[in-house]
Structure 1
Amino acid sequence: MTKFNEYQLKPFLLEAVEKLGFTEPTAIQQQIMPHILKGNSAIGQSHTGTGKTHSFIIPIVERIDVERQEVQEVQAVIAAPTRELGTQIYNEILRLTEGSGIEVKSFIGGTDKQRSINKLKTQPHIVIGTPGRLKDMVNERALFVHTAKILVVDEADLAFDMGFIEEIDQVAGKMQEDLEMYVFSATIPEKLKPFLKKYMESPIHVNLGDKRPTAEGLDFYLVPVRSKKKMERLKEVMEVINPYLAIIFVNTRTNADYVADQLAKDGIKVGRVHGDLAPRERVKMMRQIRDLEYQYIVATDLAARGIDIQGVSHVINYELPEDLEFFIHRVGRTARAGMKGLAITLFKPEEDDAIVRVEKMGIPFQQKDIVKGEFVDLKERHSRKTRVRTTNEADAKAKTMVHKPKSVKPMYKKKMKWKMDEIKKAERRKNRKK
């Protein structure tokens, strides 16, 4: 059993890790940390909730040399595709570096760029930022990354989808020639590979992507909408559960506002997280969420990948994600750090094919209905199909076993039907036992 002290980390770092309550590294941490400690470029492919962030910030903090130069220099750059994710990484590194003499700075889009430049009196050891702001700081000759040989690209597939790879490329191009790059992503799209090949020669590839984290304490309820309106069904679900904190996922910003407005009409104080919020509103919203001012948050998939909200006990999929891969990211918001969680998905009959595809990802749905304010078990969605199939099989077998007699006698048709019925009953009994 691997422990953090086996990595021979500096005393201050071991103490900080212990304060965080970490004892044993997760699978991604065990496989990635040794490569970063040795300086070997690597790709870490894993889903949300696997401890990915600490798999790179712990070894990077370990490798920072505060005595290296008389003049302080940038030694590591971390690029995050969203402001919230960048802020979270920054805060986690601050927790690890307290009292160590390591200086950490964050440069996040949506804030005053000139103010950031003016406050940058000395070069930090570690820089975290969104790609566009990092590029601006470098181009303004305020941030000097030519001294850094470590670059981390977090949530690389999301960065690609959001069009940030060009900015990251510009920053990487100004760093040391023997650049070490560490790329973390849930998936590695084909279009991302040219960028990786440009900076990474035969990188180590740690792929935990097929081991989707369905945490031990996480249950998956599938609740049919049927003839009811989806909003009515959502309110029924909310009456049954009493969450510590629940995220209601929708697909669009418009739907996020619609659902939040409908709930607000019922007097429910609900937060909302989506891309249309102004930077100041987003900062305020995240602070209110951290201060537990809301029991419910309506969010688009920005929160599934770019934001780590603590204490989520329930996830409700008001809509299935358009990209079903995001289902894993959504449910990964709950049942974290050994806690229990419940993921509830509302679905319509026409979405059955999509549900089957999610099941093939390893999601063990339990079908539930709501009766008198409680969840009750429903028969499996495919039970009717199975029953029809076994009935047809019994009919076919009976027909092959009962033949028309050569010499026809009175009542022969009734006798044939009686024999066939007996065979069908016997076959159905066998199927039920199976």
Structure 2
Amino acid sequence: MRAWPRSIRGRMLALSVVAGMVALVLAAVATTGILTRVVTDGIDRRLDAQIALLASSVTADGRFDAARLAAVRPALEAGPGWDWRIAGPGGVAASDTFLLAPDEGPVRHHDRPRTRRGRGPDGAPLHAREVVLATGGGRVVLSAAAPRGIVERPIRDAVTPLLTLLAVLIALLAVAAVVQVFYGLRPLRAIERAIVAVRDGRADAVPEDQPAELRPLAEELNALVRANGAALAAARQSAANLAHALKTPVAALALELRDDPPRAHLVDRIDATLRHHLARARDRVVGRRPDTDIAEAAGALAATLRKLSGGRVAIDTAIAPGLHAAIEPGDFDELLGNLLDNAVRHAAGRVDVRGQAIAGGVRLCVEDDGPGIAPDARERALAPGVRLDERGEGHGFGLAIVRELSELYGGRLELATGAAGGLLVTVILPRG
């Protein structure tokens, strides 16, 4: 299973979603870091001010002035979790919920506050600042702490609406990306429709009035169309020249064999084939769109094959009236004629011909109740120019010709086993 979309639209949208998520994560990390630093600096300044008040009550010999401490105590206890402590030679003075010593290394002298982390008696995390003063009586440790929630709460209160706003902005950008992808890829869809029009014969070239990025593509497509048209025209002209060259000898041969009906009939078939290919070459030169009423053509062919089989095989046709395929009538007769001839020769007693419209095309099915073709022999039966009859296998006739004709008009040929066990041939042709 592919995780990466195969379409350009899907890839562009996936990139937009990934970029939006990365931007949201980076914004959350950066915003949280900045706000944490700002809020922490503010708390640290407040705790440093409290330490300065504590230091004002410490005497030169390291003891503390109880009266001075009592005077500043209201400013030290701002609320639950705001703790302070003085520890020195004169003993320890602390708030009612005194600060536990943080779990760090040995206490050293530092006359500037530093950040410490610890926990109160209830286990709640504390954010603390500490100073170690050197006095005549020894070192004095001054500590002031605030609940960790004082730092986290304003960050959370600020980050939550900010991230919500960023998420909304990213959603709006995603919608904008969808709109951008939709309108940005419209020229590609227009080129696709133009190519379909060229293929169907409704246009001669792809419009070259395209955005700058697609103009070279349109020009190359038109160059390819012109090159293929030139090659096809040359091939048709060669076929027409060959047919013209054969017309005179065939006419002479018809005169020679006019008293021999069986052979004269074969010459007439050759002459009809030559005329058909000449007509098709002329039609294609003037660009006429091919069209055949397959119900009418199939009915006529089925009637002919019933007579030729002498009533041995019942041929049933079920094709909706007015169903047209984009194929020359002569080519359709050749295509279905080969299929019916093959089916009649191998059927035990019945051949079914069904036709129906499908999305964008026509499905034609010919099924017999004969021995069919083994799955491992079907590819060989469809090989160009190969007739299984000639190899002695007796599984079919003209399937390669049918495939070539169907592919010539943009269709395809499929072989399968029918409900009666015989061969089921399905031909898909473009809609007329």
Place the TM-score, normalised by the shorter chain, in its bin.
Answer: under 0.3
Larger RCO, structure (CA 8 Å, separation 6 or more): 1
- Larger Rg over CA atoms: 2
